[in-house]
Amino acid sequence: MMSDSRRAIVLAVGGGIAAYKSAFLCSRLVQSGHEVRVALTKSALNFVGASTFSALSGQSVATEVFQPERHPLGAHIELAKGCDLMIVAPATANLMSRFALGQADDLISTLYLQLTSPVLLAPAMSDSMWKKAAVQRNVDRLREDGCHFVGPSSGWLSCRASGDGRMSEPNEILEAAEALFNR
């Protein structure tokens, strides 16, 4: 589906095995006519490479707050400028905890605090993590803070079991993003 207007989207990729799905999401967002700016956590780099997202988005990828050769003002400031939506996929328990607490100790948590645009979270983690009271408190807090969620769904997880915590499919995340734009 082609977007009615070009939107600037920050795709923040957390460190979980579901990060591989975010490459497809990046491609779908670009094909839908959006400008996609990608930020990867250090943990995400254990699962996916920056060069993949650079090729798919057509832009350099941010991995650190301070990358003066790419982002002289700080990646969190430059990525947030003119941003229409931040999608966090996968939104790990760690990232959601940092957001809920207002921490700013890495690129994506600092970027989250810098942004004034809506935030769409696509959680991904094991069933037992997703159901943990602390995670659910953070989810409730983030909803109260205005974050939007897509998923997680139920299904086969990387821990070799079925349950809740599976990241939504890229097309579902794209549809949720488009629905936010059309509100």
Catalytic residue among 26, 83, 147, 159: 159
| CA-closest candidate to residue 180, choices 123, 119, 105, 109 | 119
Query: Which tokens in the block code for residue 68?
Result: 């003066």
How far, in Å, CA of 179 to CA of 172, rounded?
A: 10
Cis-peptide into 152, omega within 30 deg: yes
Q: Return phi, psi of residue 18, to 5°.
A: -65, -5
Those residues with Cβ within 8 angstroms of residue 73's Cβ, 6 or more apart along the chain or in another chain: none
CA 35 and chain centroid, separation = 15
Number of other residues whose CB lies within 10 A of the CB of residue 32 = 17
159 carries an active-site annotation: yes
Q: Name the residues annotated as catalytic.
A: 159
